[in-house]
Each structure stands twice: as structure tokens, then as C-alpha cells.
A and B are shown apart, each in its own frame.
Chain A
């Protein structure tokens, strides 16, 4: 009865939901085998290359490891997601 009442009033998350969420996060890093330092290195290189062609906002630039379904089959694979705000496109490339 107690259980049913708490369900009606929007019970807090089950402990297994915490387990699942924490696991998903920790596995992203385990699977990709990347350290924060490694990610910083990648970030630095990307900034260097893109800066040759466009003016980017380095402060709000965000690069993260995440996971996504692979294109063939249902396997979950790691993915690198970058959000790079562009201030201005340089014309030297033309």
C-alpha cells in the first residue's frame, strides 16, 4: 500500500536507475580509453587546424566523448562530439 501511494506521488528513482546511469557514464570513458589530458590534446590540435580557416570562440568550445549506435548493427560505439562556435570565416582559403 505504501508503495502504491508513493508511486502516485511520484516516487524518487530506483537504485537500479542510479546503477544504470553511473555505469553508462563510466563505460564511455572505459571504452574510449581516453584520459582528460588526452582529450585536451585533441582539443588543442582541433583548435589549431580550424583556426587556419575560421575564427572560433575558444572559450565556449566543447569537446566530449559520448556514445552512439553504430551505423551497421546495434552495437553501441564511442563518438567524439564537438561544439565549435564560429565567430568569423576567414577568406584566405579562397
Chain B
């Protein structure tokens, strides 16, 4: 029996879709059968982030309306064994799907897949309600900014009100240099405010944009620090006890070395 995990944030642009793509790909690399569902109807993006945009025939709305069977709409990622995508419809809106339909869909997918990751749209309206309907676990993505943390807090409240207890926090786009000089809230600051468990920290990394350009999740890039972060998050989801990536020291050493040679630390 598979598990349904929703990836949500409240605020847009904090990295829900990138997170979904990387964790999904990471789980597949660990030998799991995974399906990613894009519930951002009308603004679909998980397909391009995954590099699967040219292979869409049917979508989520086609499935719930019975236009096709689930199997027909699932896109199998040929690069990573076990990874599948159910894309969102682009020409419809959020009201084309109901929470009841989502529960039915995820219940069916649970029979066949180990993990069903639901990429939630921004906001707290219909799209959010659809995305969380069938989920039993939640990951809340935030960045170290007041607006994103505020929205994360609101989402945590709404998740708990909908019986999704114990959501986990993923802090994205952390810049250790800024944290160090006191111009960015630290991991501890954010946890102190939101009072929930941390699933992982992802550094702000140029490689994320490079990998999105190519349509290949960064989790597969062994040289990328963000990729490393996503790999450890994946293992934590599988129940392994992996220490949180210590960004301060890793960056710190490079920082000092570069400084020593008079180079600009970047």
C-alpha cells in the first residue's frame, strides 16, 4: 500500500514543483515506484521541470472525468525506472476536480505505487483542498523570508485543521553567507517560529536553474549541493536517520579559502 505525500507552501514561487520533481526522482533512484501528480490545473509546470512536456496525451482532468483510464494518462519517465507523472490540465481551472475525486484517484494509485507525490498549487482555495484531500503526509516548503514563513504558518494551521497532523518543513534557498552576517533568518530561527519538525534544508544553488533549463532534476547531479540536499531528504522520507546538511561549514571553508586568495566568495 503506497503513501500519499502532498508538497505545499501557501506562497507561490518558493519551490514546490522543484521539490516535488527532485524528491520524486530521488525516491525512484532508491528503487521505489513513484507517481507525481500535478494539481496546479491551468498553470501546469511539473511537466517542464521534469522534461516530460512533449509526452503529454491525457491529463488529471481526463482521468477524473473518465475520458481515459489512469494508465493511459501516466507518463513513464524513461530515464528513471519507476518514475511516473500525471500532468495537470492546462486549459481548465481548479474547479474541474473535486476533493472526493482526488481521494478516489489516490486510493487507486496507492494499490500500485509506493509513493504518490502531490504538487499543490499556491493559495488556500480549491486547488489546495484538492491537493491535500487524499494525502496522509505533508511537506511544507518555505524560504527564509517573512512572506513565505507567514504563509507556511497559515498552511500548517490549515493542514492540522484538515487532520493532516505533523507536517514536515523543508527550508529552501538558504544562503549561508547571508545567515552568517545576520541578514537572513537561520534554520533555528524559522523552526522556532513555526514549531514543526524539519525534513531538510536546501541551499540556494545556481545548479537548480541549470537543471530546470535541461529538464533534469538536480537530485541526479552528484556535484550539486542542492542535489545532495535532496538526496538526504529522500532518505529521510524513507525513514533513515540522516543528519541535516551543514551548509555553514561546507560553505564556510570555501568562503575562507577564497577569501584567503582574494577571490570573491560566491
Q: Does A94 sit within 8 A of B, measured CB to CB?
A: no
Q: Does A15 sit within 8 A of B, measured CB to CB?
A: yes
Q: Does A90 sit within 8 A of B, measured CB to CB?
A: no
Q: Which residues of B contact A19 (CB under 8 A)?
A: 145-146, 185
A46 to B173, CA, bound (A): 47
- B183 and A16 contact, CB distance less than 8 A: yes
A30 touching B189 in the complex, CB below 8 Å, given contacts A15-B183, A76-B195: no
Contact digits for A19-45, partner B, Cβ 8 Å, 1 yes 0 no: 110111011001100000000000000
Contact pick for A16, options B153, B157, B182, B195, CB 8 Å: B182
What is the predominant secondary structure among interface residues of chain A facing chain B? helix
Q: Does A88 sit within 8 A of B, measured CB to CB?
A: no
- A31 and B153 contact, CB distance less than 8 A: yes
Q: Does A14 sit within 8 A of B, measured CB to CB?
A: yes
- B182 and A23 contact, CB distance less than 8 A: no
A93 to B154, CA, bound (A): 44
Q: Does B32 sit within 8 A of A, measured CB to CB?
A: no
- A17 and B149 contact, CB distance less than 8 A: no
Q: Does B186 sit within 8 A of A, measured CB to CB?
A: yes
A31: min CB distance to chain B, Å: 7
Q: Does A4 sit within 8 A of B, measured CB to CB?
A: no
Per the CB 8 Å criterion, the residue count for chain B at the interface is: 17
Contact pick for B182, options A15, A22, A31, A74, CB 8 Å: A15
Q: Does A75 sit within 8 A of B, measured CB to CB?
A: yes
Q: Does B150 sit within 8 A of A, measured CB to CB?
A: yes
Q: Which residues of A contact B186 (CB under 8 A)?
A: 16
- B157 and A31 contact, CB distance less than 8 A: yes
Per the CB 8 Å criterion, the residue count for chain A at the interface is: 17
- B195 and A74 contact, CB distance less than 8 A: yes
B97: min CB distance to chain A, Å: 28
- A26 and B150 contact, CB distance less than 8 A: yes
A17 to B181, CA, bound (A): 12
A20 to B182, CA, bound (A): 11
A75 to B181, CA, bound (A): 29
Q: Which residues of A contact B182 (CB under 8 A)?
A: 14-17
**In the complex, what residue of chain B is closest to A24 when comparing beta carbons?**
B193
Q: Which residues of A contact B195 (CB under 8 A)?
A: 74-76
Contact pick for A20, options B153, B154, B157, B185, CB 8 Å: B185
A2 to B171, CA, bound (A): 31
Ordered nearest first, which 4 A-B pairs have the shortest CB separation? A14-B182, A16-B185, A15-B183, A76-B195
Using CB atoms and an 8 Å cutoff, list the residues of chain A in contact with chain B.
3, 14-17, 19-20, 22-24, 26-27, 30-31, 74-76
Given A19-B185, A20-B193, A26-B150, 14 more pairs with CB closer than 8 A: A3-B181, A16-B182, A16-B184, A16-B189, A20-B189, A23-B146, A23-B149, A23-B150, A24-B193, A27-B150, A27-B193, A30-B154, A74-B195, A75-B195
